[in-house]
Chains A and B, each alone.
Chain A
Amino acid sequence: MYKFYFLISLCFSNPIWATQYQSPNDFVNDAFSGKPPTPQSLWVTPALKETVANILQHKPGFMRTRYWQADNKTVWILKEIGKTQLITVGIIIQDNKIQNIKVLDFKESRGWEVKHSFFTDQFKSITMNPDLSLSQRIDGISGATLSVHALTKTAKLALFFNQQINQ
């Protein structure tokens, strides 16, 4: 219970080294060439909650997530804890494959290397296996293990959510 309370509380604490690389709105605008569709919402129902908890390896701190969808493209803005702070990640999925993943906001004091394209490019064209694992292995970065895990989890979560809305 304490851990859950702590995770939720992180949504509203901003350490001095917090860096926003791009606002979620700008990311969504860029993804749809300046003409984003109306956002929609996916509720984390009790049926989904267990799988979401398995992917995140903790109880989800939210009950609803928003997404933008046009043609075969969906865009997700997801937040996940690195070590002690939340990392906001934008993910574009095209035809059930990750087209782009970008760190939008990084509040951790370490592990910021995950924002670089040499790392995020590994996610391009990745899909989700039936056992909820990613179709390709993601190489880690020394000293940024927890941030790497956080990004990997958000990628899995976005692919899982994408599967749910396309069912």
Chain B
Amino acid sequence: MSHFSRAFSKLLYKGHRHIGFAISLVLILLSLTGIALNHTSELQLDQRYIKSPFILDWYGIASSKNPKSYAIQTHWLSQLEGTLYLNNKAILKAKEPLIGAISMTDFIVAAFPNTLLLLTPEGELIESISKANIEKIALQKNLIFIQNQQQIYFSSDQLLSWQKTEQPPDAWALPSLLPSAMTEELKQKSRERILDYERLTLDIHSGRFFGAWGVYLMDVSAILLIFLAITGVWFWLRHSIKRINKKNR
């Protein structure tokens, strides 16, 4: 073996050791987050939310919007950041904008442009009813009215059937201002329902959690891992060839 190739091999071997040691932490991080991402469903990573103020601040997550709320008898039905709240309790996710709510003794109806939700007074879903282009909802004399593409319909049987009418109700459900203490509570709760563990794990895995430099760090680590794999195989092959040669002598 020439002096040059010996020096090169020595350099490679030294590089292999030092680089291996240097990126070991990154490798452990990648492996752990990779395992977690492979089992997202089992670990329910997409259904659990980060509540740590430090991480939420790090992501710059702040719920600045006010909820849209409807006063229904003694309760409030509100929507904030795609979540529906009955008073201060998150009851379900609803991506469509809430356009009205009414309540009767036995149930609450939340109206969305293409859906009516029939809820128990405790906020449990009884039935989700598809109905296109709803604009308004109202309650009058135990009849539920909706306006849909300039047509008015009413239901007298808990939303099972609808009849057309020319007579609009006296007043449609309008949003009201939620008390400030509850607004702040909802904003805090809403902030804690934005970032799920899957997003955080993905961001750590890709390096995005640490900003733009984090991504570059993961890129460099990936390249160095390739280097480690190649040099590792090279050393193993060289060692094996040497051993075979020794045996044959």
Contact = CB atoms under 8 A, between A and B. Distances in A.
Q: Do A and B bind each other?
A: yes
B160 to A, nearest CB: 5
Given A14-B95, A41-B158, A41-B160, A8 B125 contact: yes
Interface string B184-227: 00000000000000000000000000000000000000000000
Interface string B94-106: 1110000000000
Given A12-B94, A38-B161, A2 B48 contact: yes
A40 B157 CA distance: 10
Given A12-B115, A40-B160, A62 B47 contact: no
A65 B161 contact: no
Contacts of A5: 47, 92-93
Contacts of A135: none
A66 B160 contact: yes
Select the residue from A11, A12, A39 with max chain B CB neighbours within 10 A: A12
Contact of B47 (A3, A12, A14): A3
Contacts, number: 58
Q: Chain B interface: which size bin? A: 20 to 34
Interface stretch (B8-16, B126-134, B137-145): B126-134
A104 to B, nearest CB: 10
Contacts of B92: 5, 8-9, 11-12
Interface of B: 44, 46-48, 92-96, 112, 115, 118, 120, 124-128, 130, 158, 160-161
Interface of A: 2-3, 5-6, 8-9, 11-14, 23-24, 38-41, 61-66, 79
